[in-house]
Chains A and B, each alone.
Chain A
Amino acid sequence: MSRAVEESNRRLLRARDAMDRTYAQPLDVPTLSRIVHVSEAHFIRSFRAAFGETPHRYLQRRRVERAMFLLRETDRSVTEICLDVGFFSLGTFSRTFSDIVGESPTAYRKRADTKAVPTCFTMTWTRPSSFGEAGAAGRRLSSRPC
């Protein structure tokens, strides 16, 4: 029983890593569920049980986190950043970004300070939360390798 859980977790982590690694590519649930070797419905259900949110939401937050980084650290336009992080429509990007961050990409860019933080910790700690503690994304960070 427990071994089955471990194997399932590890495969789900593999799918989550794929989202972290290739967020800019057109990932979808069928592609990800093939990594886990289960049906799409089972994938979504078990991912949510393991990580507390749907794979779709996780991928959205990964993309929005990268967009926040690019808005802070680069001069690329909002449209370019939208495409850079894997969205195909500016409307969907802006709506998703605002929904998760609480302000538009342009407003965020105006407000955000530039901070140099290593990616693996920025990735996990500045990612806008699904779990209710909004505001963590704007927290100040210092520069450390990771």
Chain B
Amino acid sequence: MLNAISLSQIYVLDQDEALDFYVGKLGLEVKTDMDLGFMRWLTVAVPGEPGREILLEVPGPPAMDEVTAEQVRELVTKGATGGWIGFTTDDCQKTYETLLARGVESTQAPVEQVYGIDCGLRDPFGNAIRIVQPTTDPDSSA
């Protein structure tokens, strides 16, 4: 029935700041940046993986009332909205060091897990980012 997950969304508090982070620091590329009139449709994707886009959406009217948007913003900044993106990499340690050098905030240094090596980061708004270097042994896939 379904073919792929092609588009998912996280809340950001400022789209220009989101671009600085997701494109400027994390190295994603802008897939679409379009003024629809009622909203700025801004999606990013991993270079070479254009089939999966992440919409960087700002909570606010008219999609939701200002009080609700305020609540969403408060939850995002507490890290409690569930905004969460998992990436894979070939070299977790090196990627982690590169991103730290670019000023990205860490929640967990690289650790060896049964499924590979992973680390945790935080975006400027409060969303969580996970980067996994999957184990190459196909028998131990989680």
Contact = CB atoms under 8 A, between A and B. Distances in A.
B85 to A, nearest CB: 11
B114 A143 contact: yes
B118 interface: yes
A5 B78 CA distance: 10
A13 B122 contact: yes
Interface string B105-132: 1111101011110101010111010101
B108 A9 contact: no
Contact of B130 (A12, A20, A146): A146
Interface stretch (B24-32, B46-54, B69-77): B69-77
Contacts of B120: 20-21, 119-120
A17 B106 CA distance: 8
Nearest to A73: B114
Which has the most chain A C-beta neighbours within 10 Å: B79, B86, B128, B134?
B79
B105 A14 contact: yes
B116 to A, nearest CB: 7
B131 to A, nearest CB: 11
Interface of B: 13, 70, 73-74, 76-79, 86, 105-109, 111, 113-116, 118, 120, 122, 124-126, 128, 130, 132, 134, 142
Interface of A: 2, 5-7, 9-10, 12-14, 16-17, 20-21, 50-51, 116, 118-120, 143-146
